[in-house]
Amino acid sequence: MSVSGMRLTGGYGAPALGLVASATLLAWLLPREGFVADKLVVALVALGCVWLLWSRTQRTNRTLARFVAALRHRDLAQSFRTHGQGAALDELGAALDDALKHLRDERLASLAENRFAAALVDEAPTPLLAIDAQGKVSLANKAARRLFHGSDGRGAADFAIYGEDFAAALAEMAPGMRRSSRVLWNGLAQRAVLAASLVDRLGQPWRVVAVHIIQGELDAAELATQSDLVRVLTHEIMNSLTPVTSLATSAARLVARADAGDASAIASARLAIDTLSKRAAGLSNFVESYRAFSHSPAVSLQRFAVGPWIGELLRSFAAMPQGAGVRVTLSLQPEALELVADPHLLGQVVLNLLKNAGEAARDHAEAPGVAIRIVPGEAGRVHLTVADNGPGVPHALREDIFLPFFTSKQHGTGVGLSFARQIVLLHKGVIGLCADEGEGGRFEVVI
Protein backbone atom coordinates (compact mmCIF):
# COMPACT_ATOMS: atom_id res chain seq x y z
CA MET A 1 0.00 0.00 0.00
CA SER A 2 1.34 3.46 -0.86
CA VAL A 3 1.10 6.36 1.59
CA SER A 4 -1.06 8.35 -0.82
CA GLY A 5 -3.53 5.49 -1.30
CA MET A 6 -4.00 4.50 2.33
CA ARG A 7 -7.25 2.66 2.97
CA LEU A 8 -9.59 3.75 5.76
CA THR A 9 -9.38 0.39 7.50
CA GLY A 10 -7.79 -0.87 10.66
CA GLY A 11 -6.07 2.02 12.38
CA TYR A 12 -8.26 4.73 10.81
CA GLY A 13 -11.26 2.82 9.45
CA ALA A 14 -12.89 1.75 12.75
CA PRO A 15 -12.78 5.21 14.40
CA ALA A 16 -13.95 6.84 11.19
CA LEU A 17 -16.89 4.46 10.78
CA GLY A 18 -17.72 4.82 14.48
CA LEU A 19 -17.67 8.60 14.15
CA VAL A 20 -19.95 8.52 11.11
CA ALA A 21 -22.38 6.13 12.81
CA SER A 22 -22.44 7.95 16.14
CA ALA A 23 -22.77 11.36 14.47
CA THR A 24 -25.67 10.06 12.35
CA LEU A 25 -27.38 8.54 15.38
CA LEU A 26 -26.81 11.66 17.45
CA ALA A 27 -28.26 13.81 14.67
CA TRP A 28 -31.34 11.58 14.68
CA LEU A 29 -31.72 11.66 18.50
CA LEU A 30 -31.17 15.36 19.12
CA PRO A 31 -34.55 16.63 17.72
CA ARG A 32 -36.46 14.14 19.79
CA GLU A 33 -37.52 14.63 23.36
CA GLY A 34 -36.20 12.30 25.95
CA PHE A 35 -33.46 9.84 25.27
CA VAL A 36 -31.12 11.92 27.42
CA ALA A 37 -29.00 9.02 28.46
CA ASP A 38 -28.90 7.73 24.91
CA LYS A 39 -27.90 11.12 23.57
CA LEU A 40 -25.13 11.35 26.17
CA VAL A 41 -23.77 7.89 25.37
CA VAL A 42 -23.85 8.51 21.63
CA ALA A 43 -22.13 11.88 22.09
CA LEU A 44 -19.42 10.25 24.22
CA VAL A 45 -18.95 7.58 21.55
CA ALA A 46 -18.61 10.29 18.89
CA LEU A 47 -16.08 12.18 21.02
CA GLY A 48 -14.20 8.95 21.58
CA CYS A 49 -14.03 8.33 17.84
CA VAL A 50 -12.83 11.90 17.29
CA TRP A 51 -10.16 11.43 19.94
CA LEU A 52 -9.02 8.14 18.34
CA LEU A 53 -8.82 9.77 14.91
CA TRP A 54 -6.93 12.75 16.33
CA SER A 55 -4.45 10.61 18.30
CA ARG A 56 -3.74 8.35 15.34
CA THR A 57 -3.39 11.34 13.04
CA GLN A 58 -0.93 12.84 15.52
CA ARG A 59 0.95 9.52 15.62
CA THR A 60 1.10 9.52 11.82
CA ASN A 61 2.25 13.13 11.79
CA ARG A 62 4.97 12.35 14.35
CA THR A 63 6.08 9.37 12.28
CA LEU A 64 6.27 11.47 9.13
CA ALA A 65 8.06 14.28 10.99
CA ARG A 66 10.60 11.75 12.32
CA PHE A 67 11.04 10.41 8.79
CA VAL A 68 11.67 13.91 7.40
CA ALA A 69 14.11 14.64 10.23
CA ALA A 70 15.95 11.39 9.48
CA LEU A 71 16.28 12.46 5.84
CA ARG A 72 17.43 15.94 6.82
CA HIS A 73 20.10 14.58 9.15
CA ARG A 74 20.96 11.71 6.77
CA ASP A 75 20.15 9.22 9.50
CA LEU A 76 19.15 6.26 7.40
CA ALA A 77 19.39 3.79 10.28
CA GLN A 78 15.96 4.75 11.70
CA SER A 79 13.16 2.16 11.76
CA PHE A 80 9.44 2.98 11.38
CA ARG A 81 7.97 -0.50 11.14
CA THR A 82 5.15 -1.22 13.65
CA HIS A 83 2.98 -4.22 14.52
CA GLY A 84 -0.58 -4.24 15.81
CA GLN A 85 -1.11 -0.51 15.34
CA GLY A 86 -3.65 -1.00 12.59
CA ALA A 87 -3.21 -1.83 8.94
CA ALA A 88 -2.74 1.80 7.86
CA LEU A 89 -0.06 2.61 10.43
CA ASP A 90 1.69 -0.73 9.96
CA GLU A 91 1.70 -0.29 6.19
CA LEU A 92 2.93 3.31 6.54
CA GLY A 93 5.85 2.19 8.72
CA ALA A 94 6.70 -0.59 6.27
CA ALA A 95 6.60 1.86 3.35
CA LEU A 96 8.88 4.33 5.15
CA ASP A 97 11.33 1.54 6.07
CA ASP A 98 11.41 0.41 2.43
CA ALA A 99 12.11 3.99 1.35
CA LEU A 100 15.01 4.26 3.82
CA LYS A 101 16.38 0.89 2.71
CA HIS A 102 16.33 2.11 -0.91
CA LEU A 103 18.16 5.29 0.12
CA ARG A 104 20.68 3.25 2.14
CA ASP A 105 21.37 1.03 -0.87
CA GLU A 106 21.83 4.07 -3.09
CA ARG A 107 24.12 5.70 -0.55
CA LEU A 108 26.26 2.55 -0.23
CA ALA A 109 26.52 2.29 -4.02
CA SER A 110 27.43 5.98 -4.27
CA LEU A 111 30.02 5.67 -1.49
CA ALA A 112 31.56 2.62 -3.14
CA GLU A 113 31.75 4.47 -6.47
CA ASN A 114 33.22 7.55 -4.76
CA ARG A 115 35.83 5.43 -2.98
CA PHE A 116 36.74 3.79 -6.28
CA ALA A 117 37.07 7.17 -8.03
CA ALA A 118 39.05 8.61 -5.09
CA ALA A 119 41.39 5.61 -5.12
CA LEU A 120 41.94 6.00 -8.87
CA VAL A 121 42.82 9.68 -8.43
CA ASP A 122 44.98 9.10 -5.37
CA GLU A 123 46.95 6.26 -6.94
CA ALA A 124 47.35 7.96 -10.33
CA PRO A 125 51.06 8.32 -11.19
CA THR A 126 50.54 11.88 -12.50
CA PRO A 127 50.62 14.63 -9.84
CA LEU A 128 47.28 16.48 -9.71
CA LEU A 129 46.76 19.96 -8.25
CA ALA A 130 43.26 21.30 -7.53
CA ILE A 131 42.95 25.11 -7.53
CA ASP A 132 39.82 26.87 -6.22
CA ALA A 133 38.35 30.18 -7.36
CA GLN A 134 40.53 32.07 -4.84
CA GLY A 135 43.72 30.51 -6.22
CA LYS A 136 44.36 28.20 -3.27
CA VAL A 137 46.05 24.96 -4.27
CA SER A 138 45.25 21.49 -2.92
CA LEU A 139 47.49 18.46 -3.44
CA ALA A 140 44.94 16.08 -4.92
CA ASN A 141 46.80 12.74 -4.88
CA LYS A 142 49.82 10.87 -3.56
CA ALA A 143 51.98 11.73 -6.55
CA ALA A 144 51.36 15.44 -5.91
CA ARG A 145 52.14 15.08 -2.21
CA ARG A 146 55.41 13.31 -3.03
CA LEU A 147 56.44 15.94 -5.57
CA PHE A 148 55.24 19.08 -3.78
CA HIS A 149 55.91 18.82 -0.07
CA GLY A 150 53.77 20.87 2.26
CA SER A 151 50.09 21.31 2.98
CA ASP A 152 46.95 22.35 1.12
CA GLY A 153 45.81 25.95 0.98
CA ARG A 154 48.96 27.48 -0.43
CA GLY A 155 48.68 30.03 -3.19
CA ALA A 156 50.16 29.54 -6.64
CA ALA A 157 52.94 32.02 -5.80
CA ASP A 158 54.09 29.73 -2.97
CA PHE A 159 55.05 27.15 -5.58
CA ALA A 160 57.84 29.42 -6.87
CA ILE A 161 60.27 27.23 -4.90
CA TYR A 162 59.64 24.66 -7.65
CA GLY A 163 60.41 27.19 -10.38
CA GLU A 164 59.21 30.69 -11.23
CA ASP A 165 57.86 29.53 -14.58
CA PHE A 166 55.95 26.72 -12.90
CA ALA A 167 54.34 29.08 -10.36
CA ALA A 168 53.34 31.46 -13.16
CA ALA A 169 51.78 28.58 -15.10
CA LEU A 170 49.65 27.56 -12.10
CA ALA A 171 48.35 31.11 -11.74
CA GLU A 172 47.72 31.77 -15.43
CA MET A 173 46.61 28.50 -17.02
CA ALA A 174 42.97 28.45 -18.11
CA PRO A 175 40.96 25.22 -18.44
CA GLY A 176 41.80 23.38 -21.65
CA MET A 177 45.32 24.81 -21.88
CA ARG A 178 48.53 22.78 -22.15
CA ARG A 179 51.91 24.30 -21.39
CA SER A 180 55.49 23.12 -21.08
CA SER A 181 57.46 24.14 -18.02
CA ARG A 182 60.35 23.14 -15.80
CA VAL A 183 59.78 21.81 -12.30
CA LEU A 184 62.49 21.61 -9.65
CA TRP A 185 62.38 18.07 -8.29
CA ASN A 186 64.99 16.86 -5.81
CA GLY A 187 66.99 19.96 -6.67
CA LEU A 188 67.06 19.15 -10.40
CA ALA A 189 65.13 20.99 -13.11
CA GLN A 190 62.81 18.52 -14.82
CA ARG A 191 60.90 19.25 -18.01
CA ALA A 192 57.15 18.85 -17.61
CA VAL A 193 53.89 19.36 -19.48
CA LEU A 194 51.00 20.95 -17.58
CA ALA A 195 47.38 20.35 -18.59
CA ALA A 196 44.45 22.22 -17.00
CA SER A 197 40.79 21.22 -16.87
CA LEU A 198 37.65 22.55 -15.17
CA VAL A 199 35.56 20.59 -12.67
CA ASP A 200 32.58 21.49 -10.51
CA ARG A 201 32.93 20.89 -6.79
CA LEU A 202 29.95 21.66 -4.55
CA GLY A 203 28.75 24.24 -7.02
CA GLN A 204 32.14 25.97 -7.21
CA PRO A 205 34.49 25.93 -10.25
CA TRP A 206 37.88 24.31 -9.64
CA ARG A 207 40.84 24.05 -11.98
CA VAL A 208 42.66 20.71 -11.96
CA VAL A 209 46.24 20.90 -13.25
CA ALA A 210 47.98 17.63 -14.18
CA VAL A 211 51.78 17.80 -13.99
CA HIS A 212 53.33 15.32 -16.41
CA ILE A 213 57.08 14.96 -15.69
CA ILE A 214 58.50 13.99 -19.08
CA GLN A 215 62.23 14.45 -18.46
CA GLY A 216 62.85 10.71 -18.21
CA GLU A 217 60.91 9.96 -21.38
CA LEU A 218 62.68 12.78 -23.27
CA ASP A 219 66.09 11.61 -22.08
CA ALA A 220 65.30 8.01 -22.99
CA ALA A 221 64.04 9.02 -26.45
CA GLU A 222 67.08 11.24 -26.97
CA LEU A 223 69.45 8.46 -25.96
CA ALA A 224 67.65 6.00 -28.22
CA THR A 225 67.96 8.42 -31.15
CA GLN A 226 71.61 9.07 -30.40
CA SER A 227 72.31 5.37 -30.08
CA ASP A 228 70.64 4.67 -33.41
CA LEU A 229 72.66 7.43 -35.04
CA VAL A 230 75.91 6.18 -33.53
CA ARG A 231 75.11 2.62 -34.58
CA VAL A 232 74.56 3.67 -38.21
CA LEU A 233 77.58 5.98 -38.32
CA THR A 234 79.97 3.52 -36.73
CA HIS A 235 78.74 0.74 -39.00
CA GLU A 236 79.34 2.81 -42.13
CA ILE A 237 82.67 4.16 -40.87
CA MET A 238 83.91 0.70 -39.95
CA ASN A 239 82.86 -0.68 -43.35
CA SER A 240 85.12 1.93 -44.99
CA LEU A 241 87.85 1.93 -42.37
CA THR A 242 88.41 -1.82 -42.07
CA PRO A 243 89.89 -2.33 -45.56
CA VAL A 244 91.98 0.86 -45.16
CA THR A 245 93.43 -0.43 -41.90
CA SER A 246 94.09 -3.86 -43.41
CA LEU A 247 95.72 -2.50 -46.55
CA ALA A 248 97.83 -0.01 -44.58
CA THR A 249 99.11 -2.79 -42.31
CA SER A 250 99.89 -5.06 -45.27
CA ALA A 251 101.61 -2.21 -47.14
CA ALA A 252 103.71 -1.42 -44.07
CA ARG A 253 104.92 -5.04 -43.91
CA LEU A 254 105.72 -5.15 -47.64
CA VAL A 255 107.64 -1.89 -47.61
CA ALA A 256 109.52 -2.95 -44.48
CA ARG A 257 110.55 -6.15 -46.29
CA ALA A 258 111.71 -4.21 -49.37
CA ASP A 259 113.53 -1.50 -47.45
CA ALA A 260 117.23 -2.30 -47.26
CA GLY A 261 118.05 1.05 -45.74
CA ASP A 262 119.83 2.48 -48.81
CA ALA A 263 116.83 3.99 -50.65
CA SER A 264 115.58 7.24 -49.19
CA ALA A 265 112.36 7.14 -51.22
CA ILE A 266 111.47 3.71 -49.88
CA ALA A 267 112.36 4.83 -46.35
CA SER A 268 110.05 7.85 -46.67
CA ALA A 269 107.30 5.65 -48.06
CA ARG A 270 107.78 3.22 -45.21
CA LEU A 271 107.52 6.05 -42.66
CA ALA A 272 104.35 7.36 -44.32
CA ILE A 273 102.74 3.94 -44.48
CA ASP A 274 103.69 3.18 -40.86
CA THR A 275 102.06 6.43 -39.80
CA LEU A 276 98.98 5.64 -41.88
CA SER A 277 98.76 2.18 -40.32
CA LYS A 278 99.00 3.53 -36.78
CA ARG A 279 96.48 6.30 -37.41
CA ALA A 280 94.07 3.83 -39.05
CA ALA A 281 94.39 1.48 -36.06
CA GLY A 282 93.86 4.37 -33.63
CA LEU A 283 90.81 5.54 -35.57
CA SER A 284 89.44 2.01 -35.57
CA ASN A 285 89.78 1.79 -31.78
CA PHE A 286 88.19 5.23 -31.47
CA VAL A 287 85.16 4.17 -33.50
CA GLU A 288 84.87 0.92 -31.56
CA SER A 289 84.65 2.89 -28.31
CA TYR A 290 81.70 4.86 -29.72
CA ARG A 291 80.09 1.71 -31.03
CA ALA A 292 79.99 0.44 -27.45
CA PHE A 293 77.98 3.54 -26.49
CA SER A 294 75.11 2.48 -28.76
CA HIS A 295 74.55 -0.75 -26.81
CA SER A 296 72.85 -0.34 -23.44
CA PRO A 297 74.42 -2.51 -20.75
CA ALA A 298 72.27 -4.90 -18.74
CA VAL A 299 71.48 -3.68 -15.22
CA SER A 300 71.75 -6.18 -12.38
CA LEU A 301 70.06 -4.64 -9.33
CA GLN A 302 71.08 -5.66 -5.85
CA ARG A 303 71.01 -4.19 -2.36
CA PHE A 304 74.43 -3.24 -1.01
CA ALA A 305 75.98 -1.11 1.71
CA VAL A 306 77.07 2.28 0.38
CA GLY A 307 80.01 2.76 2.78
CA PRO A 308 82.34 -0.03 1.57
CA TRP A 309 81.29 0.57 -2.04
CA ILE A 310 82.12 4.28 -2.09
CA GLY A 311 85.31 3.65 -0.10
CA GLU A 312 86.59 1.31 -2.80
CA LEU A 313 85.70 3.86 -5.51
CA LEU A 314 87.56 6.64 -3.70
CA ARG A 315 90.67 4.43 -3.36
CA SER A 316 90.50 3.76 -7.11
CA PHE A 317 90.16 7.48 -7.81
CA ALA A 318 93.14 8.30 -5.61
CA ALA A 319 95.28 5.93 -7.69
CA MET A 320 94.30 7.64 -10.96
CA PRO A 321 96.21 10.59 -12.48
CA GLN A 322 93.09 12.77 -12.11
CA GLY A 323 93.03 12.10 -8.38
CA ALA A 324 96.68 12.83 -7.65
CA GLY A 325 96.98 15.73 -5.22
CA VAL A 326 93.22 16.18 -4.95
CA ARG A 327 91.75 16.37 -1.45
CA VAL A 328 88.55 14.29 -1.25
CA THR A 329 85.92 14.70 1.47
CA LEU A 330 83.08 12.26 1.97
CA SER A 331 79.75 12.88 3.72
CA LEU A 332 77.70 9.70 4.12
CA GLN A 333 74.54 9.88 6.22
CA PRO A 334 73.67 7.54 7.75
CA GLU A 335 76.83 5.48 7.71
CA ALA A 336 74.75 2.29 7.37
CA LEU A 337 72.93 3.62 4.28
CA GLU A 338 72.03 0.96 1.71
CA LEU A 339 71.26 1.33 -1.98
CA VAL A 340 69.44 -0.81 -4.54
CA ALA A 341 71.32 -0.48 -7.82
CA ASP A 342 73.92 -2.12 -10.04
CA PRO A 343 77.10 -1.47 -8.03
CA HIS A 344 79.43 -1.95 -11.00
CA LEU A 345 77.60 0.27 -13.49
CA LEU A 346 76.83 2.93 -10.89
CA GLY A 347 80.45 2.75 -9.81
CA GLN A 348 81.51 3.66 -13.35
CA VAL A 349 79.19 6.68 -13.20
CA VAL A 350 80.71 7.86 -9.92
CA LEU A 351 84.27 7.31 -11.18
CA ASN A 352 83.51 9.35 -14.31
CA LEU A 353 82.15 12.18 -12.19
CA LEU A 354 85.14 12.00 -9.82
CA LYS A 355 87.61 12.05 -12.74
CA ASN A 356 85.92 15.08 -14.30
CA ALA A 357 85.81 16.84 -10.92
CA GLY A 358 89.48 16.02 -10.22
CA GLU A 359 90.61 17.36 -13.60
CA ALA A 360 88.58 20.55 -13.22
CA ALA A 361 89.88 21.19 -9.70
CA ARG A 362 93.54 20.44 -10.56
CA ASP A 363 93.50 22.81 -13.53
CA HIS A 364 91.88 25.66 -11.59
CA ALA A 365 92.49 25.65 -7.85
CA GLU A 366 95.74 25.89 -5.89
CA ALA A 367 94.34 23.39 -3.41
CA PRO A 368 92.14 21.15 -5.59
CA GLY A 369 89.31 19.51 -3.74
CA VAL A 370 86.39 17.21 -4.46
CA ALA A 371 83.45 16.61 -2.13
CA ILE A 372 81.09 13.68 -2.41
CA ARG A 373 77.85 13.57 -0.44
CA ILE A 374 75.42 10.65 -0.21
CA VAL A 375 72.16 11.03 1.72
CA PRO A 376 68.68 9.45 1.62
CA GLY A 377 65.91 11.33 -0.19
CA GLU A 378 62.17 11.09 -0.63
CA ALA A 379 60.32 7.88 -1.53
CA GLY A 380 63.30 5.64 -0.73
CA ARG A 381 65.62 7.36 -3.21
CA VAL A 382 69.26 8.23 -2.59
CA HIS A 383 70.97 11.52 -3.52
CA LEU A 384 74.62 11.33 -4.60
CA THR A 385 76.41 14.64 -5.19
CA VAL A 386 79.93 15.17 -6.57
CA ALA A 387 81.24 18.75 -6.28
CA ASP A 388 84.61 20.36 -7.02
CA ASN A 389 86.27 23.76 -6.64
CA GLY A 390 87.01 24.08 -10.33
CA PRO A 391 85.78 26.85 -12.65
CA GLY A 392 82.32 25.37 -13.14
CA VAL A 393 80.50 24.78 -16.42
CA PRO A 394 79.81 27.84 -18.63
CA HIS A 395 76.13 28.60 -19.14
CA ALA A 396 76.55 28.22 -22.89
CA LEU A 397 77.56 24.58 -22.45
CA ARG A 398 75.09 23.47 -19.76
CA GLU A 399 72.62 22.02 -22.28
CA ASP A 400 75.33 20.20 -24.23
CA ILE A 401 77.48 18.46 -21.65
CA PHE A 402 75.37 15.29 -21.65
CA LEU A 403 75.36 14.97 -25.43
CA PRO A 404 77.44 12.06 -26.76
CA PHE A 405 80.82 13.03 -28.22
CA PHE A 406 80.55 16.59 -26.90
CA THR A 407 83.60 17.66 -24.92
CA SER A 408 85.35 20.88 -23.97
CA LYS A 409 88.59 19.04 -23.15
CA GLN A 410 91.49 18.93 -25.58
CA HIS A 411 91.84 15.17 -25.34
CA GLY A 412 88.32 14.26 -24.19
CA THR A 413 86.08 11.77 -25.96
CA GLY A 414 82.70 13.17 -24.90
CA VAL A 415 81.46 9.76 -23.81
CA GLY A 416 81.77 9.95 -20.00
CA LEU A 417 78.74 12.08 -19.09
CA SER A 418 76.61 10.57 -21.87
CA PHE A 419 77.39 7.12 -20.53
CA ALA A 420 76.67 8.31 -16.98
CA ARG A 421 73.23 9.61 -18.01
CA GLN A 422 72.52 6.36 -19.84
CA ILE A 423 73.30 4.31 -16.71
CA VAL A 424 71.27 6.59 -14.43
CA LEU A 425 68.25 6.39 -16.76
CA LEU A 426 68.51 2.61 -16.76
CA HIS A 427 68.14 2.89 -12.96
CA LYS A 428 64.98 5.05 -13.41
CA GLY A 429 66.89 7.96 -11.89
CA VAL A 430 67.96 11.45 -12.91
CA ILE A 431 71.29 13.24 -13.20
CA GLY A 432 71.89 16.94 -13.56
CA LEU A 433 74.23 19.87 -13.09
CA CYS A 434 73.24 21.93 -10.05
CA ALA A 435 75.90 24.63 -9.66
CA ASP A 436 76.04 27.93 -11.52
CA GLU A 437 79.05 29.12 -13.48
CA GLY A 438 81.87 30.19 -11.17
CA GLU A 439 80.62 28.08 -8.25
CA GLY A 440 82.57 25.00 -9.26
CA GLY A 441 81.04 21.87 -10.69
CA ARG A 442 78.31 20.07 -8.77
CA PHE A 443 76.59 17.06 -10.31
CA GLU A 444 73.73 15.34 -8.54
CA VAL A 445 72.46 11.82 -9.15
CA VAL A 446 69.11 10.67 -7.75
CA ILE A 447 68.66 6.89 -7.76
Residue 4 forms part of a structural domain: no
Residues 157, 252, single domain; the answer is no
The residue from 213, 246, 281 where one domain ends is 213
pLDDT at position 45:
85
Band the pLDDT of 128: cuts 50, 70, 90: very high
pLDDT tens-digit series, residues 395-422 = 777 777 877 666 666 555 566 788 888 8
Q: Which residues pair with 430 in a beta bridge?
A: 446
Structural domains counted in the chain:
4
Mean pLDDT of 133-155: 86
pTM exceeds cut of 0.85: no
- The total of other beta-carbon atoms located within 10 Å of residue 107's CB is 12
Q: Which domain holds residue 190?
A: 124-213
pLDDT at position 1:
36
Domain containing residue 434: CATH number: 3.30.565.10
The residue from 213, 229, 259 where one domain ends is 213
Please state, in angstroms and rounded to a whole number, the distance separating the CA atoms of residues 417 and 13. Answer: 95
**Which segments of 133-182 does DSSP mark as H helices, in order?**
142-147, 164-172
Residues 311, 400, single domain; the answer is yes
pLDDT tens-digit series, residues 286-316 = 566 556 555 667 788 999 999 999 999 999 8
232: left (phi over 0), alpha (psi -120 to 50) or beta: alpha
What DSSP string runs through 236-297? HHHHHHHHHHHHHHHHHHHHHHH--SS-HHHHHHHHHHHHHHHHHHHHHHHHHHHHHHTSPP
User: Is the omega angle on the peptide bond into residue 321 within 30 degrees of 0, that is, cis?
Assistant: no
Mean pLDDT of 188-203: 87
Residues 176, 92, single domain; the answer is no
Residues 27, 111, single domain; the answer is yes
Residues 87, 184, single domain; the answer is no
Mean pLDDT of 96-107: 88
Please state, in angstroms and rounded to a whole number, the distance separating the CA atoms of residues 406 and 235. Answer: 20
Residue 392 forms part of a structural domain: yes
Residues 205, 247, single domain; the answer is no
Residue 3 forms part of a structural domain: no
Residues 306, 440, single domain; the answer is yes
Residue 2 forms part of a structural domain: no
CA 128-132-135 angle, 5° bins: 95
Q: Residue 381: exposed, middle, or buried by beta-carbon count in 10 A (0-12, 13-18, 19+)?
A: middle
Q: Looking at the predicted structure, is the pLDDT value of residue 281 above 80?
A: no
Residue 7 forms part of a structural domain: no
Residues 284, 337, single domain; the answer is no
Residue 59 DSSP label: H
- Mean pLDDT: which of 6-15, 218-227, 321-330, 438-447 is highest? 321-330
Q: Residue 410: exposed, middle, or buried by beta-carbon count in 10 A (0-12, 13-18, 19+)?
A: exposed
**Torsional sign, CA 11, 14, 16, 19:** negative
Q: Looking at the predicted structure, is the pLDDT value of residue 72 above 70?
A: yes
pLDDT at position 242:
67
Residues 209, 222, single domain; the answer is no
Residue 266 forms part of a structural domain: yes
Residue 258 forms part of a structural domain: yes
